[in-house]
Structure 1
Amino acid sequence: MDSKTVLKAAVKAADDKKAEDIVVLNMQGISLIADYFLICHGTSEKQVQAIARELKSTAEQLELDVKKIEGFEEARWVLIDMGDVIAHVFHRDERSYYNLERLWGDAPMENIQRELAP
């Protein structure tokens, strides 16, 4: 399955659980670990975990092997490694502190509005 298809499903899954400020960085040619970083946040630990569970469930429905999930119990920064797409689900407070968008500032942002349209 191509990374763009996985990305679209992941964006939809995060949006379905009311993830806020969903951003996708195109990491192709910038990072060897993934084609895309999906970054979003929730406003509580329960919401962060719900978003992470939905992303994992979506990956499994696509018959993807979720390589690793880190930080689920703490629910401050959960990383879901789906191969070519890595999702970073933050608690709102942690997102502004780590500011991955600035850290990877040379990565272009993907337009995900079509995936978020009702």
Structure 2
Amino acid sequence: MRSRSTSDPEAIREFAIEIARTLSESKCSDVILLDVRGRSQVCDYVVIASGTSQRQMRSSAQEIEDIGKARDQHPYRTNSDESTTWVVVDFVDIVTHLFEPDQRLYYDLELLHADGKRVDWSRPEGSRPAPRAPRAAATDSDA
């Protein structure tokens, strides 16, 4: 039976970010992470990415499964269509979709989850954007 985990919400978020980063490092493109808590009855986070080949998508799926197992977050299910144009790795709290680009456009899961909040996974955990340099004050010679 599919049941939500009792994991700490911050740990789930960190795992979702790790999945997104791993897919990006695996050369998947257009990786997005959506926070759908309170908007979806199925999961808390959705990760969507495009792969360039069946082999890449399968190996990327295996890599995030291995990361999940190392975190004691075993996938509930992993499915792919017959020709591997769409791979789903379901960790219950986080569902990851890997598509070939044409299939991604066709199914348009971004539209389905349009009310989800995008999560910026590109910055290292705990880091903040660099502070802006102070603007130089205008002097009489600038006028």
TM-score (norm 2): 0.74
Question: Structure 2: which amino acid aligns with 1:90?
Answer: F
Quote the Cα distance in structure 2 between the aligned partners of 1:111 and 1:88: 18
Q: Which residue of 2 aligns with 1:96?
A: 105
> Size of the alignment, in residue pairs?
116
Q: Give me the CA root mean square deviation.
A: 1.7
Q: Deviations over 1:67-113 (max 9, x none)?
A: 00011663211110112111001111211111111122111211122
Contact between 2:65 and 2:74, CA under 8 Å: does it hold in 1?
A: no
Identity percentage of aligned residues:
26
The Cα of 1:35 is off from its aligned counterpart by 0.6
Structure 2: where are the runs of 5+ without partners?
1-6, 125-143
Q: Which residue of 2 aligns with 1:81?
A: 90
Runs (4 or more) in structure 1 with deviation over 2 Å come to none
TM-score (norm 1): 0.89
Quote the Cα distance in structure 1 between the aligned partners of 2:54 and 2:73: 25
Structure 1: where are the runs of 5+ without partners?
none
Q: Which residue of 2 aligns with 1:14?
A: 23
Q: Pick 1 or 2: higher relative contact order, CA cutoff 8 A, min separation 6.
A: 1
